[in-house]
Copies of this chain bind each other. A is one copy, B any other.
Amino acid sequence: MEYKFSNRVQNLKPSAIREIFKYASDPQVVSLSAGNPSPEAFPINEIREISKKIFEENPIGALQYSISEGYPNLRETLRDYMKKNHNAVTDEDDILITTGAQQIMDLATKALVNEGDVIITESPSFIGSLNTFRSYNAKLVGVPMDMDGMNLDALENALRTNPNTKFIYTIPNFQNPSGITMSLEKRKAVYNLALKYGVLILEDNPYGDLRYSGEYIPCIKSFDTEGIVIYAGSMSKVISPGIRVAYTVAPKPIFQKMVVCKQGNDVHTNVWSQMVCNEFMTKYDYEGHLEKLRSIYSKKAQYMMELLDEYLVPLGITYAPITGGLFTMCTLPDYIDMPNFCKQAVLNKVCVVPGNAFLTDENEECHTFRVNFSTPTDQQLKKGIMLLAETAKKYIK
């Protein structure tokens, strides 16, 4: 039979990154392409202990059907956390637990965006989100990044020329893939532009708790007096991605539509994993755990920057200084063909993600590639960067 697919997915390709995982799974290849937390970052003993307790004290609660909104205790805990740590939830908002933050992108798009409507995103941006938006036949309009976040002129131009824009998608902290953090001034300016043009903001903050240097910057949701910001938080980088738990703080009418969409999507999120998150956040030293993660990753980030300075910068390759998160973006000299460089790198046994994978238009000229420092060991990091340098040398004029 000849299968006819919907016009949503006909041209949808598997995520370039997940495809690259296939090379990366070759044990001979040093992978700098993943975005996985470091294995040493998982609270294994605590999760083991909590699971034991759950299946001793409340097994039926964990195994039975539950409600779409999420495990009530976890919703309360996250309300407190968002209030205390970010001042980013009001009585006009409600909290929905989702099966990872990817599902927040799915539910928000489903609830808000008609086919052909525009979503404005940073360009580059997280490929997983871009692909979800594409899967609803949204039109993506990319806004280039300055070193302090979205270029505001380009953003206003995009808003002015696309009256059917539904929301602006942004990752303000340690953006994936660029590593860039949006300044407070820019956050306020983006909020005001959204208000001016009557569009919503989808603020994605998976790395917010992973700051290694510089001052905390309030999230956009914290100055959302008008109810235009949907905030996406995630447990993937701070507890575990395999358990698939995230949460959105959204104005109640949007929350309600997202709940209905969630019913049709997967009914509710795995209950055990919601209980694990709640117990871990309330009965253990969660702040201490975050402190430990920042200690692990800031050392890795520091080491990564030393390696980049030593091996790549002398070859004319630049990078965005790492202040948090799991990535940085390197920029090749103009005369090096980036896609070709990435291919040669893989053949040379080191894997990075070509920067155009993150663009709203993949065919745009692009000289960047993304490197991750959270997954590899120090030894692998060093080997990987040295292999990249070896690859780059072949191109040096």
A-side interface residues toward B, CB under 8 Å? 1, 3-9, 12-15, 18, 21, 34-37, 39, 42, 44, 47-48, 51-52, 55-56, 59-68, 98-100, 102-103, 105-106, 110-115, 117, 128, 131-132, 135, 198, 226-228, 236, 240-244, 251, 253-254, 257, 259-261, 263-273
Chain B residue contacts of A128, Cβ below 8 A: 263-264, 267
Known: A1-B226, A7-B114, A266-B100. A242 touches B63 (CB 8 A): yes
CB nearest neighbor in B for A48: B55
Return the chain B residue nearest A129 by Cβ. Answer: B264
Can you list 30 A-B pairs with a CB-CB distance of less than 8 A? A1-B227, A1-B228, A3-B253, A9-B260, A9-B261, A12-B260, A12-B261, A21-B67, A42-B60, A42-B64, A44-B63, A48-B59, A61-B242, A63-B242, A98-B266, A99-B266, A99-B270, A100-B267, A103-B265, A103-B266, A106-B264, A106-B266, A115-B115, A128-B263, A128-B264, A132-B265, A135-B261, A135-B264, A243-B270, A244-B269
Extra A-B contacts (16), CB below 8 Å, given A9-B261, A14-B259, A99-B99:
A1-B251, A8-B114, A13-B260, A36-B65, A42-B60, A42-B64, A61-B242, A65-B241, A98-B266, A99-B244, A102-B267, A131-B263, A135-B260, A243-B270, A244-B267, A244-B269
Residues in B neighbouring A267, C-beta threshold 8 A: 100, 102, 128, 241, 244
CB distance from A273 to the nearest CB of B (A): 6
Inter-chain CA distance A74–B380, complex, in Å, is 31
Which of B132, B242, B257 is close to A65, meaning CB atoms less than 8 Å apart?
Answer: B242
**Are A6 and B63 in contact (CB-based, < 8 A)?**
no
A9-B260, A18-B263, A103-B266 known; A64 vs B240 contact (CB < 8 Å): yes
Q: How far is the CA of A56 from the CA of B243 in the complex (A)?
A: 16
A295 → chain B closest CB, angstroms: 19
Contact, CB under 8 Å: B260 / A14: yes
Beta-carbon nearest neighbor of A66 in chain B: B242
Measured between C-beta atoms, what is the minimum distance from A165 to chain B in Å?
Answer: 12
Contacts of A268 in B (CB 8 A): 244
Q: In the docked arrangement, what's the CA distance between A173 and B241, Å?
A: 36
Q: How far is the CB of A136 from chain B (nearest CB, A)?
A: 8
**How many angstroms from the CA of A212 to the CA of B350 in the assembled complex?**
57
A9 touches B64 (CB 8 A): no
Q: Hey, which chain B residues are within 8 Å of A227, CB to CB? A: 1
Is the pair A110, B6 in contact by a Cβ cutoff of 8 Å? yes
A9 to B257, alpha carbons, bound, how many Å?
7
Given known contacts A6-B114, A9-B110, A111-B5, A244 and B264 CB-to-CB distance under 8 angstroms? no
CB neighbours of A243 from chain B (8 A): 63, 270-272
A131 to B236, CA, bound (A): 29
Give the residues in chain B near A5, CB-CB below 8 Å.
Answer: 111-112, 257
In contact, B64 and A37 (Cβ under 8 angstroms): yes
Q: Which residue of A60, A266, A273 has the most chain B CB atoms within 10 A of its CB atom?
A: A266
A21 to B69, CA, bound (A): 13
B48 and A64 within 8 A (CB): no
